[in-house]
Amino acid sequence: MKILLFLYDCLFFLGFLAYLPVYIWRRKTTLKALGQKLGWIKNTVGKEVIWIQVVSVGEANAIGNLIRKIKENYLAPIVISTTTLTGNKVARQKYSHCAQIVFFPLDTSWIVRHFIKVFRPIIFIAVETEIWPNLFSQLQKKKIPILIINGRISDRAFKRYKLIKPFLAKIINKCDYIAVQNQMYKKRFTYLGADKEKIIVSGNMKFESIIIDQQIALTIKNSYEPVLKPGGSLLFVAGCTHPAEEEILLQVYQDITESSGDFKFLIAPRHPERVNQVARLIRSKGFLPFKISQVPEYFSEDITKKRKIVFILDTIGELIYFYGLADICFVGGSLSANGGHNILEPIYFGKPTIFGPHMDNFLDVEEVVLEKGAGLKVADRQELRQALMRLVKDEALRKNLNHKCQEVFQQERKSLEKNLGIVLQSLKKSTHDA
């Protein structure tokens, strides 16, 4: 095993050096991120921390309620490490008030040893799929519990892992517990050599990651519902959209309003800096763009009589509340091959939700949603048009989907409780042993 870890050490670091120019060229790192990954890090929260590792945005969003519950039950400081720049940004926005946010160290023996020395973790919690040979080996030497929570192994990762199964089995079994999302992932971990006694099916925490500020929700409803849904009009909200999708959505909206009467449309581009670009596209299609931030001061019913309006969400952090106002939703990044965005936000409110075929970033969520029949997956513009037309015309279908959405969250509701129980049990054992 020592020889294998030595070879892994050498190959990993050489691979990092070889790929670094590409990493920099693609703007996947910064000097600060690179420095922290190489071990240039300071501890700002104190020793004996709870160390939580997330890869990117999805995992960073998923741990909000877990962190809140840990803080309610345990006083130890928290360090959250992230792999990607976007994950780090989201973690800083959400958790800087209660944790130190850092970049995950490179998995070479000397770097992870230094990281452990700086922070002296009492537990390491990896969210989803995080299997690091050197880190796990060094943590085990220090008798620091290793947990995988919300665990999953994607199809792509599973194919790679099978090639190194004997080596991987030794690493996986350094974990104290492996809490997985469903039976399929349990079978995959077991096939790779994980001890069955360590594996627990705990559900998917992403279904309990949504936090709603009821005061903000009420304010937005009172301020914007009269404008967006006058006289009980239907509202279609397309969130997290990308350029190619906006072209398709506007054409589909135009086609349907010509044949099915008027319903309101709100576009929320994924990147807010593109608002003016989206406004120009809306004008080119013969509609009048109107920014949500301008509604309280400038909107009047006289405007709607002159031209059909398409609203643009140009505020930050409020999309989820506009999903709550909607009657029908589309979630972007899924028609444009960007990996998809979070379909759980509109489904949380029971909204009929359409998404495209490219949901690589949310395959676990997509699986549950489609299994329950709580969303409509479309392949292209034609299917999007057909799905939207059906939902606009068929109130019974909208109500049926609303019911299915509720079933999605009922099924996964206890996942946070199960994962938290595993974490607290391990923390209690760790401090008792110390």
Residue 354 — pLDDT band, cuts 50, 70, 90?
A: very high
Looking only at the bridges linking them, the beta strands covering 146-151 and 288-291 are unpaired
The span from the CA of 291 to the CA of 136, in Å, is: 50
| 208 or 230, which is more confident | 230
| 3 or 190, which is more confident | 190
The sheet carrying 78-82 orders its strands as 100-103, 78-82, 50-54, 123-127, 146-151, 177-180, 199-201
CB 148 within 8 Å of CB 130:
yes
Max avg pLDDT among 23-27, 211-215, 249-253:
249-253
Question: pLDDT by residue (tens digit) across 369-416?
Answer: 998 999 999 999 999 999 999 999 999 999 999 999 988 887 666 788
How high is the pLDDT of residue 18? 77
How high is the pLDDT of residue 433? 63
Mean pLDDT of the chain: 89
Quick check: 432 pLDDT over 60? no
CB 250 within 8 Å of CB 282:
yes
CA angle 195/199/203 to nearest 5° reads: 160
Six-digit token string for 290 = 């109107």
Looking only at the bridges linking them, the beta strands covering 50-54 and 123-127 are parallel
What lies within 8 Å, CB to CB, of 273 at 6+ separation is: none
Percentage of the chain lying above the pLDDT 70 cut: 97
Going from the C-alpha of 214 to that of each of 72, 156, 221, 239, the distances in angstroms are: 21, 40, 10, 20
Q: How many Å is the Cα radius of gyration of the chain?
A: 24
- In DSSP terms, 238 is beta-bridged to 267, 330
Six-digit token string for 409 = 């969250």
Percentage of the chain lying above the pLDDT 90 cut: 59
Using alpha carbons, select from 128, 148, 154, 149 the residue that is nearest to residue 56: 128
Q: Can you give the length of the chain in residues? A: 434
| Average pLDDT for 360-374 | 87
Give the 3-state secondary structure of residue 313: coil
Residue 385 CB coordination number (10 Å): 17
Quick check: 307 pLDDT over 70? no
> Is the pTM of the predicted complex or chain greater than 0.85?
no
How high is the pLDDT of residue 198? 94
CB 57 within 8 Å of CB 90:
yes
| Average pLDDT for 312-320 | 89
Residue 431 — pLDDT band, cuts 50, 70, 90?
A: low
DSSP 395-411: HHHHHHHHHHHHHHHHH
Quick check: 130 pLDDT over 90? no
Quick check: 434 pLDDT over 60? no
Question: Sign (positive/negative) of CA torsion 250, 255, 256, 257?
Answer: positive
CB 314 within 8 Å of CB 293:
yes
Pick from 69-73, 78-82, 364-368: least confident: 364-368
Q: How far from the centroid of its chain's Cα atoms is residue 243's Cα?
A: 21
| Average pLDDT for 210-235 | 90
How high is the pLDDT of residue 47? 84
Using alpha carbons, select from 156, 159, 284, 311 the residue that is nearest to residue 225: 311
At which residue do the structure tokens 């031209």 appear?
Answer: 307
Residue 185 — pLDDT band, cuts 50, 70, 90?
A: very high
How high is the pLDDT of residue 343? 94
Residue 306 — pLDDT band, cuts 50, 70, 90?
A: low
Give the 3-state secondary structure of residue 354: strand
How high is the pLDDT of residue 282? 96
Pick from 98-112, 294-308, 354-368: least confident: 294-308
Pick from 2-16, 219-233, 277-291: least confident: 2-16
| 345 or 299, which is more confident | 345
DSSP 69-130: HHHHH--S-EEEEESSHHHHHHHHHHHTTTSEEEEPPPS-HHHHHHHHHHH--SEEEEESS-
Q: With left for phi above 0 and alpha for psi between -120 and 50, is residue 119 left, alpha or beta?
A: alpha
Quick check: 194 pLDDT over 80? yes
Quick check: 206 pLDDT over 60? yes
Domains parsed from the chain with CATH numbers = 2-203+419-433 (3.40.50.11720), 214-412 (3.40.50.2000)
CB 186 within 8 Å of CB 150:
no
The span from the CA of 328 to the CA of 236, in Å, is: 5
